[in-house]
Chain A
Amino acid sequence: MSGYFRTRYAEDSALLDTRPQKIALALFSIVLLVYPFLASVLWLDIANQILLSAVGAVALMLLTGYAGQISLGHAGLLAAGAFTTGILFKEASAPMWITLPASAGVGALLGLVFGLPSLRLRGLYLAVSTLALHFIVIFAGSEYETKRGYSTGIVIDSPIQDGRAWYFVLLAAAALTVLFALNLLRARTGRAWRAIHAREAVAEALGISVPRAKLAAFVVSSTLTALAGSLFAYYRGFVSAEAFSLYLTIQYVAMIIIGGMGSIAGALAGSAFVVLFPYAIDGGMGALGLSDRLSSLVFAVNYSAFGVVMIGFLVFEPEGLIGLWRRVRDWLVLWPFKQRPL
């Protein structure tokens, strides 16, 4: 037992409470700020992708990991944000400061629609209804594409061109999302979500309005996701319905599973893992000398390896990377003992 005791409620709910944590955060921020000046173009792009998917993964983590509402419609919500941006850009040549709030608004509205079934449905049936909504949103997007003659996709000119500038924009977006999520989780809303996750009937008995909290979870999560979709559209400079397949949803769900359910740090670790994964596979194939023989089938290797890794995490480490880290940390802290002393 260390000699550290919390004596005030403010200490109990502080985001950072010990000095080592503050030092670690400061060091991490310095690394993040210096990184773009040291990284090559490829690694800068990878970092940007990680930051971008971190926004979406944190949003999904709030909904599934904390409020306990299963959603398989994440790609549909990203698509909604991206298409709102694309359509506003094409039809009204709207600048970024209009498209971002508009995407957020569409996301909030869709969140309400996605969330309505959750008032009556639970578990599997909810997952299925969000899946159905995914197909409908994608259909609407591709319908717009074909009707307006952008059958290959909508091209968007981004106001930010430089990779390094993008890095700072996306870093700010991801940091704000994380800060927002952490603050929300320690406030009334987040506590209500956790109560609903644990047991709905008890949450209701405690005086929590279950429908309102569930809808709030959907709306917050979808708004953040649609914002991520809008940023995605600008970052790629291109919106197309094909980019938002069911596989994208699966990737986001994999991020929160692999990272570890019920942890914001897990969502960040998971998004880094999932984004880095194809590059690691590519590198591994190069090292084994297979890349020439299988060059046309790289995506198939990716698919199967991703399936194997996901199954591995589900079966052997359901708590994800965070669970793994906690176990390693406990082992180090307690060594040579196996359990905490009584």
Chain B
Amino acid sequence: MQIAVNILVLASIYALICCGYVLIYKVSRVLSLAHGELMMLGAYGLYATASLFAGHPLVALAAAVALAATVGAAVYLALMWRMTGESVLAAVLATIALGILLRGAMILAFGTETRHPLGQLGWTNASVALGTARISAVGLALVLSTAAVYGGLALFLRSSRWGIRMRAAGQNPLLAAQRGIGLHGIYALAWALATFTAGIAGMLLACDAGLESTLVIIGLKAFPAALVGGLDSLVGAVLGSLVVATAEVLLIHYVDPLLSDVVPFAVLLAMLVVRPWGFFGSREELDRV
């Protein structure tokens, strides 16, 4: 039972993080390897707003979330729009360089010690009983917000005008542009949404375990989940997260705790050998990249 709860929490962590990878890839065919750093930036945003709006935790949360979305749009408008249409390698490297830059800048701005934004907000991380298992309040919040984010995204992409434009831009950018869809606006929106979800993930993880540089590694470990599910499918991201989280929790529990860092990548390799486009990814893409 406890193992099932652990799997659920880890899967929702991965799912919440990797919907950012999926969104950016689905819409602009760019793989963002700065996602872990953007998560961490979101968490530092919460830390900063929590001390700014001391005593109003909800205001601080709202401000931090808005800040994360703004940062995402800013990243696109300042850097990534120049990489539109460049080679795959150039775009990936630009995000890697951005990641290094952000990592250095965050250490310069906030130092290296572990921070605890949850205490800053004035809340505590209580433990909730769930049948025979226990789950931390933040863990529960993680599961719920992952469900909310995916529900919201599905609704947005399916029925809102901007969501439909985003899907169109992802399917065929040239045709979409000729039909009057402003690609830069769409891509900026995708980056804003992706950073917004990454920010939520970063904030919740920081509330759970403290804010330190391991967040970046968690961000990178979520990437295999996105690829296992199929890089351009949100349903796939959920399934991929479940698969990776199950494998990781079970192997840690029954074999060796040290395996934690390597299991997602082993699952990824197995998937690449058998079915490189993932569970739900579209297949022609392999020729397109």
Contacts and interface: CB of A to CB of B under 8 A. Distances in A.
Given A135-B265, A310-B93, A121 B258 contact: no
B100 A300 contact: no
A136 B272 contact: no
A314 B107 contact: no
A124 interface: yes
B129 interface: no
Interface in A312-334: 314-315, 318
A70 B224 contact: no
Contact of A133 (B82, B96, B269): B269
A250 B33 CA distance: 12
Given A124-B31, A304-B105, A311 B276 contact: no
B88 A250 contact: no
B104 A302 contact: yes
Interface in A229-260: 246-247, 250, 253-254, 257
A129 B92 contact: no
B94 A311 contact: yes
Contact of A122 (B108, B273, B289): B289
B78 to A, nearest CB: 10
A129 B272 contact: yes
A307 B107 contact: no
Contacts of B88: 70, 123-124, 127
A120 B99 CA distance: 29
A304 B101 contact: yes
A213 interface: no
Nearest to A132: B265
Describe A's contact surface by its main secondary structure: helix
A304 B258 contact: no
A132 B224 contact: yes
Contacts of B255: none
A290 B259 CA distance: 42
Nearest to A310: B97
A303 B103 CA distance: 7
B90 A132 contact: no
B54 interface: no
A150 interface: no
Given A124-B31, A128-B227, A304 B108 contact: yes
Contacts of B265: 131-132, 135-136
Contacts of B137: none
Nearest to A250: B96
B97 A300 contact: no
Given A117-B273, A125-B276, A127-B92, A132 B266 contact: yes
A136 B266 contact: yes
A284 to B, nearest CB: 15
A304 B31 CA distance: 21
B98 interface: yes
A303 B96 CA distance: 12
Contact of B262 (A125, A135, A300, A304): A135
A12 B100 CA distance: 43
A122 B287 CA distance: 8
Interface string B201-226: 00000000000000000001001100
Nearest to A306: B100
B90 A311 contact: no
B284 to A, nearest CB: 12
Contact of B101 (A64, A308, A315): A308
B276 A120 contact: yes
Given A136-B266, A301-B108, A304-B108, A123 B98 contact: no
Interface string B247-267: 000000000001101100110
Contacts of B286: 121-122, 125
B102 interface: yes
A26 interface: no
B272 A303 contact: no
Interface in A109-123: 117, 120-123
B31 A132 contact: no
A300 B106 CA distance: 8
A307 B93 contact: no
B269 A129 contact: yes
A136 B107 contact: no
B81 to A, nearest CB: 10
Given A117-B273, A300-B107, A311 B89 contact: no
Given A121-B286, A124-B88, A307-B99, A132 B104 contact: no
Nearest to B268: A132
A120 B107 CA distance: 40
A124 B289 contact: yes
A279 interface: no
14 contacts: A117-B269, A120-B276, A125-B227, A131-B265, A132-B224, A142-B258, A146-B258, A294-B108, A300-B105, A300-B108, A302-B104, A305-B104, A314-B93, A318-B90
Q: Which 7 A-B pairs have the closest CB atoms?
A: A307-B101, A303-B104, A304-B104, A300-B107, A310-B97, A123-B289, A307-B100
Given A304-B105, A307-B101, 10 more contacts: A64-B89, A121-B276, A125-B286, A128-B268, A254-B97, A294-B108, A303-B100, A306-B100, A307-B103, A315-B94
